[in-house]
Structure 1
Amino acid sequence: MAPFALIGGVGVAFVAWAIALTGNAFTGHMVAHMALVAVAAPLLALGLAGTRLDPATRWPGHVAPLPMSLVELVVAWVWHAPAARAFAEASLPGFLIEQAMFLAAGLLLWSACLGAPPQDRARRGTGVAALLLTSMHMTLLGALLALTPRPLYGMAIRSCLGIDLPPLVDQQLGGTIMLMIGAVAYLVGGLTLLGGLLRARAGEESR
């Protein structure tokens, strides 16, 4: 599975960047963001797990679930501040820095949770808490973007995949995408880890 996960992660990342570059809409930005952190990053983490390129294997003391969850939180919230969003929209270097930080933060978090050996139950347990915490802050940010009654990122009409969107509709759609994809992906990831821990414990007790 590892090679296929790695190839899939790289493929999703390139598709996400292609979508983000098709226009200046916040919706396209959010599709790319969620594809990177909720799809490409866990696939890359699974593909690299246990190898020398796995961040959790190389730096186990630093790439730990809860600290990496906080890194993910800071990166997500900072890059959705209006000034940072304007910087990423206005220049190619800004876009590249933003997207690289999204992917790096996502990879570090998923690697911290999935890259550890399955028998490392303390780390897996902390990973459950880290992914659920990330799901919560993604839910909060997505809800704020979807429910805010005024545009935060300017008043211009935005284009995504050839579709023009009014600024408030664009922002609300982007927030909804974060709620539907980001929050759900981290919730499912946390529950999957929890299920694995419970099955392992049940197997031991049945022996």
Structure 2
Amino acid sequence: MRAALHRHGPLAAGLALLVGLWAGPLVGRAETSFAAHMVLHMGLVAVAAPALAFGLARSVPAVGRRVSARFAILAALTEFALVWSWHAPALHDAARRETAVLILEQGSFLLAGLLVWTAAFGTAEGARGARAAGVGALLMTSMHMTLLGALLLFAPRPLYRCGDLCSPLATLTPLEDQQLGGVLMLLVGGAAYLTGGLALLAGILDPKREGAAPA
């Protein structure tokens, strides 16, 4: 029992986090609040996705074993394209107004996060080049999330029409709501990927670990 819990517990915890995000009140709030929408997004890519990726690596080791450097970079580029595309005004407003589009958006966020974190955990056991690619994938993601968060925070006006249309009774103005969402992306998204990248980098720079790693 203890061995099964040790092996499958992280995956179960990741699934519980995912259920909490998608079955809780955040989905409804995400339609009327940009900040709540961002909490849902960050919960998926910076909390649930790494937990699920770690759980999959523990429960089904073959899933992420020996991930290639190319896969890690492609995963990071995929997440970059998806995150920035879904934050384009037309697509974001559509996701706030249409449940089907919201499901597609959030599903793609989860998939992108899983790709990056699975690549990072998979390369952690590989050769130095693969591990460097895993570090690069996480740091690249941290940088573009930081940039997008800063854009949302410092934009002089609301970037989305839904700020007025979807939440007429909100206590925050559309610009304040957008700024709060930008802060959340900076503090949660940028920090989570940065921390993961630096942790993997520490493994590369550890001479004891390097001596045992395959060439």
Q: TM-score range by the shorter chain?
A: 0.7 to 0.9
Give 5+ residue unaligned stretches, structure 1: none
Number of residues of Structure 1 aligned to a counterpart in Structure 2: 201
Q: Which of residues 152, 155, 164 is equivalent to 1:148? A: 155
1:2-81 alignment to 2 at 5 Å?
Answer: 2-17=7-22, 18=24, 19-22=26-29, 23-49=31-57, 51=60, 54=63, 56-57=64-65, 60=67, 64-81=71-88
Q: Which of residues 172, 176, 193 is equivalent to 1:165? A: 172
| Greater helix share, structure number | 2
Q: What SS class does the counterpart of residue 152 from structure 1 fall into?
A: coil
Structure 2 Cα separation of the partners of residues 122 and 61 of structure 1: 9
TM-score by length of 1: 0.87
Give 5+ residue unaligned stretches, structure 2: 1-5
- Aligned-pair CA distance for 1:49: 1.2
- What is the aligned-residue RMSD (CA, Å)? 2.5
Q: Which of residues 186, 191, 204 is equivalent to 1:197? A: 204
Q: Is the 8 A contact 1:9 1:41 kept in 2?
A: yes
Structure 1 Cα separation of the partners of residues 46 and 74 of structure 2: 18
Structure 1 Cα separation of the partners of residues 62 and 52 of structure 2: 10
Residue 192 of structure 2 is matched in structure 1 by: 185
Letter in 2 for 1:6: L
Q: Is the 8 A contact 2:72 2:134 kept in 1?
A: yes
Letter in 2 for 1:112: A
Q: Which of residues 130, 134, 137 is equivalent to 1:123? A: 130
Residue deviations 1:129-149 (CA, integer Å, cap 9, x gap): 111111110010000001001
Q: Is the 8 A contact 1:6 1:46 kept in 2?
A: yes
Aligned identity (percent) is 44
Greater mean alpha carbon deviation, residues 39-48 or residues 22-31: 22-31
Q: Is the 8 A contact 2:71 2:119 kept in 1?
A: yes
Residue 139 (structure 1) aligned with residue 146 (structure 2): yes
Residue 107 of structure 1 is matched in structure 2 by: 114
Greater mean alpha carbon deviation, residues 137-146 or residues 83-92: 83-92
Letter in 2 for 1:32: L
Structure 2 Cα separation of the partners of residues 2 and 194 of structure 1: 25
